[in-house]
Amino acid sequence: MTDLVKVIELKKLRPRRGVAVRVQDIEVAVFLIGEQVHVIENLCPHQHIPVLADGELEGNILTCPMHGWQFDVTSGSCVHASGGLRTFPVQIVKGDVMIPMPEEEKPSWW
C-alpha cells in the first residue's frame, strides 16, 4: 500500500481557484470543482513552467496563463495535443487533501 501525504487542508480551497503546493520534490496544483478535489502537477508541459495553479478554469478545462494550452484537470489530458499532465488520485482524510507519496519523475531518457 502506498503511503499518503498531506497536500493541503480542504477548508483552505476556494471553488475553482487553483493553489500551488510543494509536496516532496514536486509542485502540484489543487483545484476544487463542485465537491471534487483534483490534484495535477503544476508544471505546464509546453515550456516546463510551474504556473498551472494560476490558470483559468472553464468547466473542467484549465487554460495555462502563459500561452493558452488547455488541459482537462479531471484526466490530465491535453485538449489540443496528445499527452498531458501528471494527475494524482485524491483522498480526503480528516479534512485534509491527501495523495499517494509522489515519486520523482524520471526523464524519458532515463
Binding of ligand FES by 85 (CB under 6 A):
no
Of 13, 21, 44, 85, which one interacts with ligand FES (CB under 6 A)?
44
Closest distance to ligand FES from the beta carbon of 83 (Å): 13
3-state secondary structure of 52: helix
Single out the residue of 31, 35, 17 nearest to residue 76, CA to CA. 31
- Check if the beta carbon of residue 14 is closer than 8 Å to that of residue 32: yes
- Under the binding rule (CB under 6 A), the answer on residue 67 touching ligand FES is yes
Binding mask 46-65 for ligand FES (x = CB under 6 A): xx-x--------------x-
Smallest distance, Å, CB 58 to ligand FES?
16
Nearest approach, Cβ of 81 to ligand FES (angstroms)? Answer: 11
3-state SS track over 58-71 = ECCEEECCCCCCEE
- C-alpha 11/C-alpha 68 separation (Å) is 29
HSE toward the beta carbon, residue 64, CA cutoff 13 A: 24
> Which residues ranging from 4 to 33 are in contact with ligand FES (CB under 6 A)?
none
Residues near ligand FES, by CB under 6 A: 44, 46-47, 49, 64, 66-69
